Amino acid sequence: MTIVLTVAGLTLREAARRKVLRSLAVLTVLLLSLSAWGFSRINAEFGGLTSGEARLAAATVLNLVMFGLSLIAALGTAFLAGPTLAGEAESGLALAVLARPVRRAQVLLGKWVGLAGFGTGFVLVAGTAQLVIVKLATGYWPPSPASGLALLCGQAIALLTLGLLLSTVISPMASGIVAVGLFGATWIAGVVGGVGDALGNDSVRKVGTVSQILLPTDGLWRGAMRSFQDPALLSQFGEAFEGHPFLSKAPLTGAYLVWAVAWILLVLALAGLAFQRRDL
């Protein structure tokens, strides 16, 4: 366990050395500043809104900004996970470390723990700051903020785990690009599935369902949206907002959450198996 924690600490230090933390901090401050201005204008420009319409506007824009934060987290974790194994293997650094009495599984698990700490820390700090901004600007506070942030953390962990698996078989840059590409493709498939659900088309609806099973990032994201929005909004405003990309119709089931955890463990195990067999 000591070796795992040591590798996790070194992974976080490596992230700081690559100036990833600084870059993400700049992007996050920029996004939060823009969102604070935008939320302040909701009341200034649309003062005639009813209380329900104001909550709908605040919840929709909040989910939009949270998606921006989840995208920043996805980019950060994916492009950190790629170089952390593939880069060290290509440079020969991994061979120097593994020549000592350190097992490959301990290195992989340590890097996963470090990246998970990085991703969840970013989501919790930036997400909480965003919720406070919304509260101060509009008075809106989501019904289940802790659940929403936890699901966003799960989304980041799922993507970084996929990035680790990809980094064991392809180059650092390619693994980051593929991971982010799959993240975006799954989100688009989820939007298509939502449209199919709103139109009552089972075939189109299955596009989103299948993609959320194959890669649970979009499923977790839609659960997070549900936690950030007032559950009475969709029933109050009827069918006009069904299929909206930044409003979620139904909460996640317990079975899906179990599958998301099992998916992460399965992909992590595959990454360990691939790293064990990789020729260094």
- Residue 237 confidence class, pLDDT cut points 50, 70, 90: low
Going by C-alpha positions, the residue among 99, 155, 149 that lies closest to residue 128 is 149
Contacts of 207-213 spanning 24+ positions with Cβ under 8 A: 211/185, 211/186, 212/186, 212/256, 213/259
Domain holding 211, by residue range, is 3-277
Q: Note the pLDDT tens digit of each residue in 58-82.
A: 778 888 888 888 888 877 877 777 7
Tell me the pTM.
0.85
Report pLDDT digits (tens) over 164-201: 898 888 877 788 888 888 988 998 888 888 887 777 78
Question: pLDDT grade, residue 87 (50/70/90)?
Answer: low
For the chain, percent of residues with pLDDT exceeding 90: 15
Assess contact for 119 and 71: CB atoms under 8 A: no
Each residue's pLDDT tens digit, 23-45: 778 888 888 888 888 777 766 66
* Contact between residue 218 and residue 74 where contact means Cβ atoms under 8 Å apart: no
Count of domains observed in the chain: 1
The length of the chain is: 280
- Give residue 18's pLDDT: 67
Burial 87-125 (b: 16+ CB within 10 A, else e): bbbeeeebeeebeeeeebebbbbbbbbbbbebbbebbee
Q: State the Rg of the chain over Cα.
A: 20
Of residues 106, 125, 116, 146, the one with CA closest to residue 24: 125
Q: What local confidence, expressed as pLDDT, does residue 146 receive?
A: 93
